[in-house]
Amino acid sequence: MSSYRQPGIVFTDRYFTVPLDHSDPGGEQIELFGRQAVASGRAGEDLPWLVYLEGGPGFGARRFVGAEAWLGRAVREFRVLLLDQRGTGLSTPANRQTLPLRGGPREQADYLAHFRSDNIVRDCELIRPQLTGGEPWTVLGQSFGGFCAVRYLSAAPEGLKAVLITGGLPSLDAHADDVYRAAYPRIERKVAAHYARYPQDVERAREITAHLLEHPTDSAGHRLTPEGFQSLGIMLGGGSGSHQLHYLLENAFVRTPHGTELSDTFQEAVRTATSFAGHPLYALMHEAIYGQGEQPTGWAAERVRAEFPQFDAAGALKGDGPVLFTGESIHPWHFEVDPALRPLRETAELLAARTDWAPLYDTGHLAANQVPVAAAVYHDDMYVDTDHALRTAASIRGLRTWVTNEYEHDGLRAGGERVLDRLLALVRDEV
């Protein structure tokens, strides 16, 4: 362990060893990293624990600088563990560089099958007694972290003092097809709102798409195609995303001796926004987090997209309609255009075809829940369907919801301490 100070916070870096396969505790072990945070003036106190589960899948816990955002509120009363879930951050990595150590694509897919919420919860339960002495702790789950929290309520409620969920109530029984069938209309609404705010972007997007249809570009090995350009719509799920997308588009073209071309500035910004180099598990495991039972996920987002022809960029250019952005979906072409994913294409195919996913949620346990739970549901959240979330909320005994359109999916980050404050008040019956 190593400790260091930042404004208002003492951080301690901690490492834990857990089984890759919890059904074989004596087998292969992997390492998990967690950053402990405590208020500077309370480092020696016996404080209750809160463990933070980041969204994703595939993202390490946020790297805070001091007592910023919601963390400043949390350390007023908790000792916080910012956990890098298995395969992310400083935990044993899983990416194009490390996965070949497992063997070929089949071995890699079998390895990654252990990287869903069920094993993340088992990891937490192995870590918890080491930190709390056996006492239950509070879980704060953002997005996919909320999915993990619902799994926690299903499988190990005895480890929980309270659960706080932000933008992360999953459907308990929807197949991946159902998830994306609900997602595309939401995405279309977000795109319409963006174009209403920035009508000049309609023509800009059409011009960029037309250029890419004739001249796909390559930046540092990352190929930009019309579909890749459309995937910038993932930005529209955040509170400032529409504005960021607008500023990105306004710098698209530059005049050169060879004619008009896409600017290096634009291409680099798009590459940065769409690369999975820093979070490849997001692409590899994105549909697997919905897998339950024998039906494969089978590239659900790609198949379901065919039901929404308005998202076809070339078709949009044949008429006078807007080019629709996409986002929050993974497609086979991602593993062709992104150099961080290209070596993992066959592994992704095997995960998409897998038919032995274990059930993730126990509806009986959830209906009998005794753990205080509160969830922020962001109305018309681009990433998590509101109807799915509210049906799940109604299935978890005692869960209290805060439904709001004040924030987008990143409300926990954007809202400072307000979102966490509200959820804590809900689980304590203070509002």
Determine the number of helices (DSSP H) and then strands (DSSP E) in the chain. Answer: 18, 13
Own/partner long-range contacts of 318-323 (Cβ < 8 Å, ≥24 apart): 322/191, 322/195, 322/202, 322/205, 322/206, 323/202, 323/205, 323/206, 323/209, 323/226, 323/230
CA distances (Å), 89 to each of 93, 231, 242, 323, in order? Answer: 7, 24, 28, 35
According to DSSP, residue 325 is labeled P
HSE of 322, CA atoms in CB hemisphere, 13 A: 20
Give the integer Cα–Cα distance in Å for 344 and 353: 14
Residues designated catalytic: 143, 356, 409
Quickly count: other Cβ atoms within 10 Å of residue 31's Cβ: 14
Closest residue by Cα to residue 381 from 195, 224, 179, 243: 179
Residue 109 in tokens = 């897919």
Burial class (CB in 10 A: 0-12, 13-18, 19+), 205: buried
- Mapped onto helix, strand or coil, the DSSP state of residue 3 is strand
293's torsion region: left (phi>0), alpha (psi -120 to 50) or beta? left
In sequence order, the β-bridge partners of residue 6 are 9
- Mapped onto helix, strand or coil, the DSSP state of residue 346 is helix
HSE of 352, CA atoms in CB hemisphere, 13 A: 19
Which residues lie below 8 Å from residue 65, measured CB to CB, with a gap of 6+? 6, 7
CB 245 within 8 A of CB 194: yes
Give the integer Cα–Cα distance in Å for 301 and 290: 12
**CA end-to-end span of the chain, whole Å?**
39
Give the integer Cα–Cα distance in Å for 33 and 55: 16
